[in-house]
Amino acid sequence: MSTAQAIYEAVAAEQVDHVFCVPGESYLAVMDAFHGSESPRLIATRHEEGAGLMADAWAKATGKTGVCMVTRGPGLTHLAIALHTAQQDSTPLVALVGQVPSDVRYREAFQEMDVVAYARPMAKWALEIGRGDRAAELMQKAFHVARSGRPGPVVVSLPEDVDRDRAVSAPARAAAIAYPAAPSPDGIEAAAALLRAAKRPCIVVGGGVTRGGASADVVALAEKAGAAVFTGWRRFDAFPNNHPQYLGPMPVLPADLAAPLLEADVIVAIGTRLGEYTTKSYSWPVAGQRLIHIDLSAEDTGGGWAGADVAIVAEARAATRALSAALDGAGASASAAARIDAIAPLRARYVQRTTPRAFDAGAPQQMISLEGVYHDILRLLPEHASIASDAGTFGGWLMRYYRWNQPRTLFAPTAGGMGYALPAAIGAKLARPDAPAVAFAGDGGFAMTMSELETAVRLRLKGFVALVFNNSNYGTITMHQKREFPGRTVATELGSIDFAMLAESMGARGFTARTNAEFADAFGRALAHDGPALINILYSPDRLAPWADERAS
């Protein structure tokens, strides 16, 4: 068997049906192994960053391990943003990187670099397949490492001569993962004791809940404990936003809406790391709060700046079920009901301030109302749609107004890298073909990966819409400059791009929206179009903060 065939069969054994690449001469034999294959299917992208981000979103949507392939040197360095994203997001990813032939290593061969050394800081593991007879073994281990414990990216270097080698290789098989499904009984009882005594418990839900398929179990725990629920940074689909105990996403809430978390006496953090954004710049736990931290990864529980009163190393579903069962007993239902009654006015205040109003079509309009835009988005878009979000000030309105009620419907990088939305929406659409996929991006971020719109056209993706919030500005940095250096904005203004015309040139349908009526019409037509569509939403660069004036939009 050729090394290339062994690698192909290792990918197929993992039930990976889409592999994303920018073709390179360094791994031609592996590419050839995919010839004629529909599953896994090898998809050419326009840029290595796009390939990696598509694989990242595909992995998030399916719960499997994403796979991408790039060449050495520029190929790997272009992939760096996707590797960093997967590492920060705990996404299982295997990236195959072609390497120079073994006999010319350390001679400054064409595009030569030390792949393993370069990738190591950004990856969970980096390795090189130095012999063809070990290809199947090492690929299986790569998948195992990517998916086990706290998931993350694994980079596999493949020298060009090994790529074309033929050797006896072990049969491909999927990497089995045995999760520590059973939490410690002592830990569960200690956590239950804290919750029984709590007067104002809160639950903070992270990506480990979505990855472990535990959203419904967290709902049951929240109801049993009578706890208010918040979602961690860019993990807003981990808990149904329409639930009466849900109080919003961290850290984007104003201080008064975030107050119930800061005033809680017991916090249960499930499947989330206590990073800067989820903790609102490390503002919780505060003195006197008790912390129960549940996570599959031991190194992410009970340590760091906050510590934990009870650290439970377990899979989210098993832990939440065990904790729910431990809360059964005399008086438990009455106590939970009283806590839920106390949450009701907090929930009503949150809903009132985060429900977008329709734009009055009869009113004069000098600029588009982003609140009205989101009213129409919620009206026209089914809740099972895949939402891919870029970084930028436009995202403040998305996080304030959108409602995620189903898991695996939000694709957004916790690292905040620009250029994510468009390729991520492609990966999500391929993983969830029956759901509409919508990419939300500002003009700055969209321009960084906009070439991937041609990839979406080539794949004939229907129900695929890119929304470009275009204010000709790097809005987030402008906002920071206005706060830190008033009156001294610099290097944040951008030129004008007609993204609708650009979309048409790539074979997509392009629309421009200057008013809310134009947007509502364009969004309905874009969703119904038989291929990819884009809406160029023109709005003022002065509109940077969605909470600055709650009567405006």
The CA distance from 265 to 74, in Å, is 51
Above 70 in pLDDT, residue 357?
Answer: yes
What's the pLDDT score for residue 436?
98
Residue 72, SS3 per DSSP: coil
Where on the phi/psi map is residue 280: left (φ > 0), alpha (ψ -120 to 50), or beta? left
Cα-based distances in Å from 308 to 187, 450, 521: 12, 44, 51
Q: What is the 3-state secondary structure (H, E, C) of 14-49?
A: CCCCEEEECCCHHHHHHHHHCCCCCCCEEEECCCHH
| Mean per-residue pLDDT of the chain | 93
The CA distance from 143 to 12, in Å, is 12
Above 70 in pLDDT, residue 549?
Answer: no
Q: What is the separation of C-alpha 422 from the centre of its chain, rounded to a whole number of angstroms?
A: 13
125 phi/psi in degrees, rounded to 5 = -155, 145
> pLDDT (tens digit, 9 = 90+) per residue, 250-290?
999 999 999 999 999 999 999 998 999 999 999 999 888 99
Q: What share of the chain is helix, strand, coil (3-state, %, to 5)?
A: 40, 15, 40
Above 90 in pLDDT, residue 99?
Answer: yes
What's the pLDDT score for residue 58?
98
Buried b (16+ CB within 10 A) or exposed e, 135-156: bbbbbbbbbbbbbbbbbbbbbb
Above 90 in pLDDT, residue 475?
Answer: no
Above 60 in pLDDT, residue 550?
Answer: no
What's the pLDDT score for residue 482?
86
Residue 439, SS3 per DSSP: strand
User: How confident is residue 338, by pLDDT bands cut at 50, 70 and 90?
Assistant: very high
The CA distance from 147 to 142, in Å, is 9
Q: Are the beta carbons of 472 and 540 closer than 8 angstroms? A: no
What's the pLDDT score for residue 548?
73
Above 50 in pLDDT, residue 364?
Answer: yes
The CA distance from 489 to 139, in Å, is 50
Place of tokens 């390497």: 99
In 167-314, where do the E strands start and end? 201-205, 228-231, 246-249, 266-270, 290-295, 310-313
Question: Rounded mean pLDDT of 184-212?
Answer: 95
Residue 500, SS3 per DSSP: helix
- What percent of the chain stands above pLDDT 90? 81
What's the pLDDT score for residue 551?
47
The CA distance from 377 to 520, in Å, is 8
Burial of 542 (0-12, 13-18, 19+ CB in 10 A): exposed
The CA distance from 301 to 71, in Å, is 37
User: How confident is residue 176, by pLDDT bands cut at 50, 70 and 90?
Assistant: confident
What's the pLDDT score for residue 552?
44
User: How confident is residue 330, by pLDDT bands cut at 50, 70 and 90?
Assistant: low
- Cβ count near 94 (within 10 Å): 28
Can you read off the two tokens belonging to residue 423? 């390729």
User: How confident is residue 179, by pLDDT bands cut at 50, 70 and 90?
Assistant: low
> pLDDT (tens digit, 9 = 90+) per residue, 65-83?
999 999 999 999 999 999 9
What's the pLDDT score for residue 124?
97
Question: Rounded mean pLDDT of 109-120?
Answer: 93
Cα of first residue to Cα of last residue in the chain, in angstroms, is 62
6 phi/psi in degrees, rounded to 5 = -60, -40
Cα-based distances in Å from 322 to 197, 298, 350, 414: 18, 18, 30, 29
The CA distance from 446 to 433, in Å, is 22
Domains, the chain, with CATH or none: 3-163 (3.40.50.970), 185-352 (3.40.50.1220), 356-538 (3.40.50.970)
Which distant-in-sequence residues (6+ apart) come within 8 Å of 219 by Cβ?
Answer: 239, 240, 243
Q: Are the beta carbons of 445 and 499 closer than 8 angstroms? A: no
* pTM of full prediction above 0.85: yes
Buried b (16+ CB within 10 A) or exposed e, 272-290: bbbbeebbbeeebbeeebb
Question: Rounded mean pLDDT of 220-232?
Answer: 97
User: How confident is residue 553, by pLDDT bands cut at 50, 70 and 90?
Assistant: very low
The CA distance from 406 to 215, in Å, is 9
User: How confident is residue 158, by pLDDT bands cut at 50, 70 and 90?
Assistant: very high
Q: Are the beta carbons of 474 and 489 closer than 8 angstroms? A: no
